[in-house]
Structures are given as C-alpha cells and as structure tokens.
Structure 1
Amino acid sequence: MGVVGGIKCIKYLMFMFNFLFWLAGTGVLAVGLWLRFDSRTEGLFSGEDSPSVFFTGVYILIAAGALMMVVGFLGCCGAIKESPCMLGLFFFFLLLIFGVEVAAGIWGLSNKDTVVEDITEFYKQTYNNYMNTKQEALKETLRLIHFGLNCCGLTGTIIDSARETCPKKEGLEALITTSCPAAIDEVFNSKLHIIGGVGIGIGVLMVRTANQLSPLLSRSLHFSIHPPLLSFTPLFSISPSSLSSSSPPLLCPLSPLLSSTPLSSPSSPSSSSPPLLCPLPPLVL
C-alpha cells in the first residue's frame, strides 16, 4: 500500500533532494576521473617527482563523488520504492559523510600551516617543472590554479615567464596581479573559516532534513504495511432508564448446565435450584 496525503509530498521532496545530491556526486566524480585519466594531466601521476598533494586530492575527489552517488541512489530508491531498509542505509551514510566532513574540517584547522606549506610547495614544484620541461599536463595544472585563485606565477609580475597560463588582464590590472603563493596563503588564512562554516552548515542542513523526513516516511510505510488493530465496541448497552423494577431479570444461558453440577448436595434436588442470573454489563451513562 502506497503512502497518501502529506506523507506522499514528503516522499517526493526526499526524492528531489537526493536526486540533486546524486547529481552533485556525479559532477565531483566526473571531475576526479577527468583529472586522473585525462591525457593532459595523466603525466602528473607518473614519475618520482609527481606532486603528492595533487595525487591525494584527485583520489579524495573520486572517493567523495562515488560516496555521494551511493547516498543519493539509496535516498532516491528508498523514497520511490518506499523501502525502510534503503532509507536506513541512506541516513547511516549521510551521518558518515557528515562525520568525515567535520573531522576533515577540524584536522584542516589544526594543521592549517602544514596544509598551506604543502600546497605552496606543490605549486612551486609544478611551476618549476613546467618551466624546465614545458609539459602539457603541467601547463593545464598551472592554468587551473591560476584561474581558480586569480593569480599568476611565483612573483605575480608582468615579466613572469609563465604568463600564457595566467588570466588575461588589461591596463593597470596586469601590473598588480597577485602571486600564487600569496593567494594560497590568503585563501587559508582569511577565507578558511568561511569555507568551513559553509561546509558544516550544508552538512547540518542535510542531516537535519534527512532526520526529519526519513522517520516520517518510514513510520508511514510501517503503518501502511501493518495497519493498527481496530478497537471494538460492545454490541449492546443498558441505560439507567431501562433498569426498572418491572424489567425481568436476565437469565444466563449457561444456568441449566451450572445448576446441574455434581457439586450440589444429594439432599437438595436439582429441580429446585434457582436459575443463575447473568451479571449486568457496565452501565453507559
């Protein structure tokens, strides 16, 4: 039996919420796979001097995207198929993602200086390798960093030799371009708390929404499969006005059987035993 009414609206709200979450996971996974297997960046994963930060970040993207897709799939199918098992798994994985997100945020805040140094070192290593080899994969990596952080090179000056990977600027803007080490430091020192707050806020919103919708839908599914027992009412009732002195007593149907019990004494004949009266039902006032 399907759900009806307001619970049906909750069912489709949950489906839409998880479908968007599944689409976001698909996008994250696609970006991770593109960075890993694209011919222009594949060279970064080979060789002894391959940047470990980039290597780790790409695999984190792939794992996060795959987990988001699994969670979105469980939520969508659990809502449409009305499966309490899938909804339970969906809520469990959602709590797992939120826990990992909070743990990563705490670790990032406590090791902020180390993270900044590692990322800056990764950029310098990529930049120097590109200047020596002119490898296309390194060029695309620098282009992504430069456009993402709106920076250019190690110095940010107009005479920087990797200007072909930098955003195109005109006039005085070309003279005041920020260097990438300074841009990395600015992101982690001035904007990290904003990024962390937005991430934790999104995680709390996800868990809160699932915590509100999943139990309602599961409870509705339970009652649709196992409806509650119907209460019964007495077949008849006696009002006080019907109890008059002229009313005949209610004879118990079992009185003949009870009156002929062998427990009666031999001296008293069974024929003289008075009929048993049935007890009156509770009065309905």
Structure 2
Amino acid sequence: MAVEGGMKCVKLLHYIFLLAFCACAVGLIAVGIGAQYVLSQTISQGATPGSVLPVVIIAVGAFLFLVAIVGCCGACKENYCLMITFVIFLSLIVLVEVAAAIAAYVFRNKVMSEFNKDFQQQMKNYPKQNQTVFILDRLQKKFRCCGAANYTDWETIPLEPKGRVPDSCCINVTQNCGINFKVNEIHTEGCVEKIGVWLRSNVLVVAAAALGIAFVEILGIVFACCLVKSIQSGYEVM
C-alpha cells in the first residue's frame, strides 16, 4: 500500500508537470515566432544559422506539446508503450534543445555578421520607398541609432536631397528633420552594435528560461520512469 500510495503521488506530480510541459511548449512556440519575426525583418531568407534557429525552436515547441499529450494519455490509461514512447521522445527533445543551445553559442558571431550584411543591404534598398523604409525607420527609432556602423553610412546612399539622413535618425523626429541636420540633432551610433548590445543583455534571461524548461523536462522523465516501473511491476495506480 505504501508503494501504491507513493505511485499515486508520482502520478499526480506527473500530471502537474504535463501542464508545465504544455506551458513550456506554448512559450517555445511564442519565442520562436517572435525570433522569426524579428530576424525576417533584418536577415535575408535562406538556410542560414540565423534563420534556421527560430524554426527549430518552433518545431521543438510543437513537438513538446504533442509529446505532452502522449504522456497524458499514457498516464490516464496506464499504458506501458505510451509511457515508454513519452520518455524516449522527451529525452530526444532535451538532446535537441542542448544541440540548439550549442549551435546558438557557436554561430552567435555568424548571426551578427549576417545581421550587419543584411542591414547594409536594406539601407541600399531604402531609396526605393518599399517595406524597407518602414523596417529601418522603426529599428532606428526604437534603438535610437542611425546607419549600420554609424550615421555616416547614409552618405553612400542616394537619398534626396543629397547629404540627408532618414528622419528616423533624429533625436526629436519631425518631418524633414534629417535634411541639413546637425550632428547633435541625430543619433550617431550604429544600429548593428546597439541591437547587438540589446541581444547580449537578454542572453541571461533566455538562458535562465532554457535551464528552467530543461529542469522541468528532466523531472518529467524521472516521474515518467517511476510510472513505467510501477506499470511494469503490475502495481495498480489510480
């Protein structure tokens, strides 16, 4: 009876952690979509480390949600095969997350290099008055920056009238404030470095969240293994 009661407690904790898995899955999907949205505005599309990583995060989140459903069904029906499947899939997810974390660390400089290259390309497209105008203006306003490396990058861009910068470079944004500007009236720092600083400042938050998710998943594996052992031994778990 003591073992049976202990397994009831483990089963209850297993359900609680399944809810946590669902929350983690939704969180991963949201983070992946957000990262994809941000990167799609500044990094060209293609199979590059910067563009692939958000897709991996979204896929892991969706897969984790499906695995949580498998774990719930396995616990409810006390099905040995479903619980083994849950343990195997959850272990694979942990391995994929570790691999993604390592890849993000290894390719961090590559991502910034892509960002710098594509930011400069977007600057060249700026005079065409397409969606690039909206994207760059919003980035320059939000991060209070101007150009890729600094405001002088705009000197090579054929804006009319010649020698101006976009109005979004101005400290106080008003119409045509970028014409005949004075240096003390605009943001002089480049966007690539300022956005890089912002990303680095949020790395600890992302790392803490990743560790929390991994901890929940490992606990889930432990509780699932306990249930598998109980089912295999023929104990009645209510």
Q: TM-score, normalised by structure 1?
A: 0.53
User: What is the Cα deviation at residue 114 of structure 1?
Assistant: 1.8
Aligned pairs (5 A) from 1:110-121 = 110-121=106-117
- The equivalent of 1:71 in structure 2 is 67
- The equivalent of 1:106 in structure 2 is 102
Please give the alpha-carbon distance, in whole angstroms, between the structure 2 residues aligned to 1:4 and 1:221. Answer: 11
Corresponding letter in the other structure for 1:6: G
Corresponding letter in the other structure for 2:45: P
Corresponding letter in the other structure for 1:87: M
Structure 2 residue runs of 5 or longer lacking an equivalent are 152-163, 174-184
**Alignment partner of 1:161 is 2:166:** yes
Aligned pairs (5 A) from 1:237-252 = none
**Do the aligned residues in 2 keep the contact of 1:51 with 1:125 (CA within 8 Å)?**
no
Q: Which has the higher contact order (CA 8 A, sep 6+)?
A: 2
**Do the aligned residues in 2 keep the contact of 1:33 with 1:62 (CA within 8 Å)?**
yes
Secondary structure of the corresponding residue to residue 19 of structure 2: helix
Aligned pairs (5 A) from 1:40-51 = 50-51=44-45
User: What is the Cα deviation at residue 97 of structure 1?
Assistant: 1.9
Identical aligned pairs, as a percentage?
Answer: 25
Please give the alpha-carbon distance, in whole angstroms, between the structure 1 residues aligned to 2:54 and 2:136. Answer: 12
**Do the aligned residues in 2 keep the contact of 1:21 with 1:72 (CA within 8 Å)?**
yes
Corresponding letter in the other structure for 1:180: C
User: What is the Cα deviation at residue 209 of structure 1?
Assistant: 0.4
User: What is the Cα deviation at residue 57 of structure 1?
Assistant: 4.6
Structure 1 residues 64, 120: closer, same or farther in 2, change over 3 A?
A: farther
Structure 1 residues 114, 70: closer, same or farther in 2, change over 3 A?
A: same
**Do the aligned residues in 1 keep the contact of 2:18 with 2:220 (CA within 8 Å)?**
no
Q: TM-score, normalised by structure 2?
A: 0.61
**Alignment partner of 1:212 is 2:204:** no
- The equivalent of 2:197 in structure 1 is 186
Please give the alpha-carbon distance, in whole angstroms, between the structure 1 residues aligned to 2:95 and 2:112. Answer: 23
User: What is the Cα deviation at residue 93 of structure 1?
Assistant: 1.9
Structure 1 residues 106, 26: closer, same or farther in 2, change over 3 A?
A: closer
Tell me which protein shows more helix as a share of its residues. Answer: 2
The number of residue pairs the alignment matches comes to: 203
- The equivalent of 1:59 in structure 2 is 55
Q: Deviations over 1:133-182 (max 9, x none)?
A: 3328x846975x679xx52454488x963639xxx9xxxxx977974311
